[in-house]
Amino acid sequence: IDELVQRKVDSIQDFVWQQQLRYYWESSGISNSSHSASTNALVSDQQETNCFIHHSDARIAYGYEYMGATSRLVITPLTDRCWLTLTGSFALKLGAAPAGPAGTGKTESSKDLAKAMAIQCVVFNC
């Protein structure tokens, strides 16, 4: 929040705001309507709502997979870029394979993001 104040962010279109992992409760676009077989009458016409995660241009459905209490990493500019790349690829239904020197937090960053998105994360060390 301090960074948002220091940079005087005053618009939801500002990139500093867009790069935050944000949670919204919104309509998923799926109608909950059903028809009664005997009367052919509309029983309910409510939109199904769901939790969605917004991160830059990515919109991802929340996974509802409880992974335990979230341990927070120290967020660095490198972590921010990693998360933006991972959420962008996930929103496009692609995978990601962070690469770099050993001990820089690639695995922990990926696992921490998966916890924040409530999705299962499987890490392969090959």
* pLDDT, mean of each 10-residue run, the chain (126 residues): 90 90 83 49 65 94 84 81 92 89 87 90 80
pLDDT at 43: 46
Structural tokens at position 51 = 């939790």
For residues 123 and 14, what is the distance between their CA atoms, to the nearest angstrom? 33
**pTM of the predicted structure, to 2 decimals:** 0.76
User: Contact at 8 Å (CB) between 60 and 90?
Assistant: yes
User: Contact at 8 Å (CB) between 59 and 49?
Assistant: no
For residues 107 and 99, what is the distance between their CA atoms, to the nearest angstrom? 10
